[in-house]
Structure 1
């Protein structure tokens, strides 16, 4: 419309990777969130999987799995897919 006040965007899912999802989930929990309000994919960044054989973020992956189970998210284990691949193949489209 050319008018930012009339812009209408609706998100049907969210995603973040292992470099950022810990902080996002902790902030949401501190804000009182009890469940993810829409599908939230906690996945992996190809850069972190390449570092130190993919083990550098192992504790974050355990946290991500726990958060997905607790708050109703979708956890993508390390070395199964990376964020852009998973979102393109599993979440995009109609």
Structure 2
């Protein structure tokens, strides 16, 4: 799978389901110390993130998605063994009750 620079919440939820079924870990990374309700997030900690399995997907979020998109190249350099993506719209556009179903 080729990874874009950004995923919407819907793309995140759909791709997470598909990738985890293939054995690829997908993590939602909190860069602002503000977890999103009703979903699993991991606080940005480079030391701990480097312990994740190679090939994992890191989806970084901030309040609006702009800061993480601007820093995406920095994240890619810091985590060359992982796939780094920014969450489009960030925490502000996250819909707590959104879910995806198999078609």
For the aligned pair, the TM-score class normalised by the smaller chain equals 0.3 to 0.5
TM-score (norm 1): 0.38
Greater Rg by CA:
1
As a proportion of its length, which structure holds more strand? 2
Bigger helix share: 1
